[in-house]
Structure 1
Amino acid sequence: MESLPVPRQAVLVVNAHSRKGQDLFREARQKLEAAGITLIAAHAIRDPSKLTQTVRKAIADGAPMVIVGGGDGSLSGAVDDLVGKDCVFALLPLGTANSFARTLGIPLDLDGAIDTIVTGRRRRIDLGVVNGDYFANCAAMGLSPLIGSSVPHNLKRYFGRFGYLLWAIWCLFRFRPFRLSVDDGREKRTIWASEARIANGTYHGGVELIENASVDNGVMVVQAVIGRSLFALFWDWFSRYLKLPSREAMTVEFRGPRLLIDTRPRQRISIDGEVTARTPAVVEVAKRAIDVVAPRP
């Protein structure tokens, strides 16, 4: 059955503090209107803490579609207010990793992302939930929160993914493995891990790490890099980036609609790049929670 059409009216909200946001806000506004999207309002948000309330107001005022431009943290912060609302979510990937856009197959260039909004389709997708907090794509424990909570913003802004990689290598030498327990309701397993990814989508950090995750199958995936060796963590990222045949050797996966997670010692959890939670955690899937604009098959 054909889905409802993508609205032609929208509110544009761009995180102008993101790596590309300030430079591309005016260009995005002009190109959206030239492509036939009527912008009810357009906001360049220079204080990231105000982005969520701007999106919330647009939804409350009855916007049929909200277009959010920014990185994964900005996009994830916007989805909470879309749950249960008759408002379509469209995105302009203006961040460093753009993992959510990659998961949905949205082009990472501005023209391609706008073309998706104009010619794409409405797609009903799941959201992940960690301790009651909705997220769009992927959460993580281990090295990722250490990087996310300490990486200098200007490093990401001026050097992009390469700068992020350099900081990750620096953090690698300060990081220690942890004991991870996962209870899927049938059994509880405890292992040593150097990283654990809580996945609704396939990409994390701009790399396709969780290949069998899906945003519309009603299942969450916890993928753990097993063991106490930091070399194993490095090799896992390297082999998955290059899609080597051995890329599954370092991980174990747990799947289900609801998973209970605990760690020793307690771990911070980065949710789509923003460190907002700690273990222990209840991980759930919110089935068919929001409508997004995605490319046509």
Structure 2
Amino acid sequence: MNEQLPRSAALVVNAKSRNGQEAFREACRLLTEAGVELVSAVAVRDPDHLTTKVCEAVRDGAPMVIVGGGDGSLSSSVDHLVGTDAVFAILPLGTANSFSRTVEIPLDVAGAVKVIAEGKPHRIDLGMIDDDYFVNCAAIGISPLIAETVPHGLKKRLGRPGYLAWAAVQMARFKPFRLFVEDDAGKIHEMNALEVRIANGRYHGGTELVETSVDDGEIVVQAIEGRARSKLLWSWGLSLLGPDKVRGTVREFRGRRFRIRTDPPLPISIDGEVLAKTPVMARVAHRVITMAVPR
């Protein structure tokens, strides 16, 4: 593979993301100063139009497509880069920026632009929930409940602290569930569960929870077993100490694909957006896009 990144790109920014509006102007300036020609640059005010603009950029032959936004914006964009020669590059402008942390992209605009200007191309894995590609992590349990109900203004004003405060409020509504994980060998693992993470990346909610990488050809399913909410809180608390501590509180499955079912059927948040419902097939798509990463 050519170890140099393209010197021209299309820029698409979710202006409704937490830092989108001001970051767009800064990114345009810094990219131009760094010698990256912008063949097109658009700040999308309606997030529903972001994927349309990404698709147009790929169709028009942009050699690199830079997407600015949170994990949800990045996740919805990658479907349009699979099977193309376009390089995927990112500006982390969300609340948790879990995927950016996973691939070690600096969380400030200047640092992210430096990666785009001076970094290298690298083939990475994507996760899949049925036919939907995602970049970092899908979740079952309280995460979809939070994603469905959190006021956008709360996330925009307070960031991660506001998100965590809302999670505490929603805990009172949360109920454990029955989980069934079928592996490639056809064996079904059954348990009571409090939360399930389906991970391509290491971070979830901005916290490192999974020991994995985005090019190892595996999807990781982590389940917090039990019925007592206190165990969920305990696991979250240990997450602050690192993924090695978390693994003592979870049951973990690693492989290329898993059939996942719950009783009752439950919504699934995919990189922060509620987009699916159990039962689903979770799998890894091995090294299907090229991404700009630090050199």
Match of 2:281 in 1: 282
Match of 1:155 in 2: 154
| Mean Cα deviation higher: 143-152 or 228-237 | 228-237
Match runs of 1:66-77 below 5 Å: 66-77=65-76
Q: What is the TM-score when the length of structure 1 is the normalising length? A: 0.97
Structure 2 gaps of 5+ residues are: none
Q: Is the 8 A contact 1:209 1:237 kept in 2?
A: no
Match of 2:193 in 1: 193
Match of 2:258 in 1: 259
CA distance in 2, matches of 1:185, 1:119: 40
Match of 2:230 in 1: 231
CA distance in 2, matches of 1:155, 1:242: 26
Deviating 4+ runs (over 6 angstroms)? none
CA distance in 2, matches of 1:244, 1:260: 24
Match runs of 1:7-22 below 5 Å: 7-22=6-21
Cα deviation code 1:268-295 (max 9, x no counterpart): 0000001000000001111111001111
Q: Match of 2:17, as an amino acid?
A: S
Q: What is the TM-score when the length of structure 2 is the normalising length? A: 0.98
Q: Match of 1:108, as an amino acid?
A: L
Q: Report how far residue 185 of structure 1 moved.
A: 2.2
CA distance in 2, matches of 1:68, 1:236: 33
Q: Is the 8 A contact 1:126 1:286 kept in 2?
A: yes
Paired-residue identity, %: 55
CA distance in 2, matches of 1:243, 1:258: 26
> SS of the residue aligned with 1:247?
helix
Match of 1:140 in 2: 139
Q: Is the 8 A contact 1:138 1:201 kept in 2?
A: yes
Matched, 1:210 2:210: yes
Q: Report how far residue 4 of structure 1 moved.
A: 3.5
Cα deviation code 1:126-169 (max 9, x no counterpart): 11110110001110000100001110000000000000000000
CA distance in 2, matches of 1:247, 1:74: 28
Q: Report how far residue 244 of structure 1 moved.
A: 8.4
> SS of the residue aligned with 2:80?
helix
Match of 1:270 in 2: 269
Matched, 1:127 2:126: yes
Match of 1:49 in 2: 48
Q: Is the 8 A contact 2:89 2:291 kept in 1?
A: yes
> SS of the residue aligned with 1:59?
helix
Match of 1:24 in 2: 23
CA distance in 2, matches of 1:235, 1:138: 21
Q: Match of 1:14, as an amino acid?
A: V
RMSD: 1.1
Q: Alignment length, in residue pairs?
A: 294
